[in-house]
Amino acid sequence: DMNVSYFYDTDQTFGIPLNDGNWTGVVEKLRLGVIDAAILDLTDTPYRREVIDFTFPIGMRRWNMYVKRSNVFECKGNCEYQLFKQFLWVSIGTTSMLTLGAWFLKYMHNITFQSCAKPKAVNNNDIVISKTAVFTIFTQNL
């Protein structure tokens, strides 16, 4: 036979360590042997593991945190432009222009980008590439 009793933790602490080595709530009742098992939402922490054993979770819940909505940021018009600071948009624009410029040089003027790192042979015929690769732009006749 199994005797099941319901217990409600009135102090709502569930298991906090005290300075004298004792615990509050359900963890203390488990530690003292007042109860044999408990089913509740209790976070598995290293300190609690020193006193009680945890099983695999029986079920999972999704918890959300809700905060008061702020009216500091108001979106007017094109909101996606207001998401980032001006520095980021300048960086994105500069990177895009440099990429387009490199593409233009490569495909429209036959400029090739090659690595100057030369492989060197070792005794067991493995090929090792130098860790420092210097990139140089080689141009053909424009």
pLDDT in tens, 127-137: 444 433 333 34
Question: Residue 121 pairs with which residues in a beta bridge?
Answer: 127
**Rounded mean pLDDT of 27-32?**
87
To the question of pTM greater than 0.85 for the whole model, the response is no
Q: What is the pLDDT at residue 20? A: 92
Question: Left if phi > 0, otherwise alpha if psi is -120 to 50, otherwise beta: which for 96?
Answer: alpha
Tokens representing 88? 């980021």
pLDDT tens-digit readout, 102-120? 888 777 766 665 555 555 4
Give the rounded distance of the alpha carbon of 9 from its chain centre. 35
- DSSP state for residue 69 in the 8-state scheme: P
Q: Positive or negative, the Cα torsion across 11, 16, 18, 21?
A: positive
Residue with tokens 């090659």: 114
pLDDT tens-digit readout, 40-70? 778 888 888 888 888 877 777 766 666 566 6
Asked whether residue 77 carries a pLDDT value surpassing 60, the answer given is: yes
Q: How far apart are CA 122 and CA 68, in angstroms?
A: 66
Q: What is the pLDDT at residue 71? A: 58
Q: How far apart are CA 68 and CA 66, in angstroms?
A: 7
Asked whether residue 125 carries a pLDDT value surpassing 50, the answer given is: no
Helix, strand, or coil (residue 37): coil
